[in-house]
Amino acid sequence: MGPLDRDPSGATAIASGDSLALRCGGGCETWGGKLASAPISLQVQNENKSEGRSLDASILHADLDAFYASVEQLLEPPLRGKPIAVGGGVVLAASYEARAFGVRSGMPGRRARELCPDLIFTGGHFSEYGRLGDAAIDILRDFTPEIERISIDEAFADVSGSTQLFGSPQDIARAVRTRVRAELGLAISIGVARTKHLAKIASQVAKPDGMVVVDPTTELAFLHDLPVELMWGVGPATKEKLARQGIETIGQLALSSPMAMERVLGRAIGRKLVALSWNRDPRAIQTHRRAISAGAQSALGRKPATEAVFRPVLQRLADRIARRLRAKDRPCRTVTVRVRFADMRAVTRALTLPAPICATSALTEVAVDLVRGVLADHIEERTISLLAISASNLGEDPFPQLELPFALADDGRWPGTRKGKLRERADRALDAIRERFGVEAVGYASGVLAGHRTGPDRFRELTEQEL
């Protein structure tokens, strides 16, 4: 058959080198065929045996298609089938109809309208994003408890222990797709493979609204023909570095010298990408992965580098972070700030404290001091474009060590001081009010001066990892 010939059953056979893709009527692709050479086939079998891994393709990667834009089209039927973008000044998300014109996330709104004159901008239904994202993951959880959620709209699942109840991994993936479409009205693409790395790539190949199952005996034939940017961890900068070395496909990367890639990309990322190009990925599903840090950032456009500008913004960012720390009783000892100037140069400063903190005001004051230091070292900079705070070195310290006064100044930063305890009690009272009446029901006055949460800020909050 030719590349797009059809057999009498109506399925489409797609030739891809020595591999073969069979697209079924339900949006399913099963990749099979022979490997490029016998030594590669032997290598895969030996690695699987030595690692003790199953030869079955039982890892699913499920990813809701154009999630934010699809939710807007779901909630507003007149928008269905039309090019839409969530956002305004900046495109936060774009529908497939808009992507066909070249509209992409992060693009300035003016440029997006130039590419697509009929583009419709819409505001975000942020509470619905969370509800529908949770509902899709809950459907996946009905088939297996082995779920690793990596964002609001995507997750890995290991279904090796569920086949006796629900059928093959392919059957489970098909059932998940059917239920998500019927119960939520959304499309979800699923990749099924032996490893997390390959399952995620397969789900990208399946988009939009499809399913790809990679046969373990022919996974390298499937993988090596694909563009290198489909690999997890290859962004625009890494893609450009690889292109300068003449590497455009995963197969070309696999044939490259590991030492050469370490020189081009750095030791860690170079070694990792070469391993992944051979589908060497021992990572298991992590159902209870805990974050090692909590962060928040805010893009400012171009604002004067004055304390009247940066303090309210840092207050709001610290409030977001500290609220998460208190919710899980995980105070931080290390605070890092990042200041980006008008020319896009960024400077970071970090401070490790003698005692862990989780009070909003304490975190704010540390961040303000760090930003003051950055600006004092760069007095020529008059404009800032972004501020970020990260809290790390997280612990579990619900009962802080009390501080003995000895006539020392009590500035309220340390939780063991009298003022520090009062600040944390006030914060927890605010948390209780917000839990009942909403995040914007009450807050610090200085944070309110920074304005309401913007669309980009609210998108970033949706992606914040559970502590």
126 contacts: CB under 8 Å, gap ≥ 6: 458, 459, 462
Number of Cβ within 10 Å of residue 328's Cβ equals 15
95 contacts: CB under 8 Å, gap ≥ 6: 66, 69, 70, 72, 73, 82, 83, 84, 85
CB-based contact 394:324 (threshold 8 Å): no
Q: Is 154 a catalytic residue?
A: yes
Q: Is 379 exposed, middle or buried (0-12, 13-18, 19+ CB in 10 A)?
A: exposed
Q: Is 378 exposed, middle or buried (0-12, 13-18, 19+ CB in 10 A)?
A: middle
CB-based contact 226:87 (threshold 8 Å): no
DSSP state of 82: S
CB-based contact 142:157 (threshold 8 Å): no
CB-based contact 287:297 (threshold 8 Å): no
- DSSP states of 369-432: HHHHHHHHHTTT--EEEEEEEEEEEE---SSPPPPP-TT----S-STTSHHHHHHHHHHHHHHH
Q: How would you classify the pairing of strands 346-357 and 19-23?
A: unpaired
Q: Given 154, 219, 365, 424, which residue is catalytic?
A: 154
Number of Cβ within 10 Å of residue 441's Cβ equals 11
Residue 30 bridge partners (DSSP): 22, 213
Dihedral angle over CA of 388, 393, 394, 397, nearest 10: -130
Q: How far apart are the first and last CA of the chain?
A: 53
CB-based contact 213:173 (threshold 8 Å): yes
Q: Which residues are part of the catalytic machinery?
A: 154
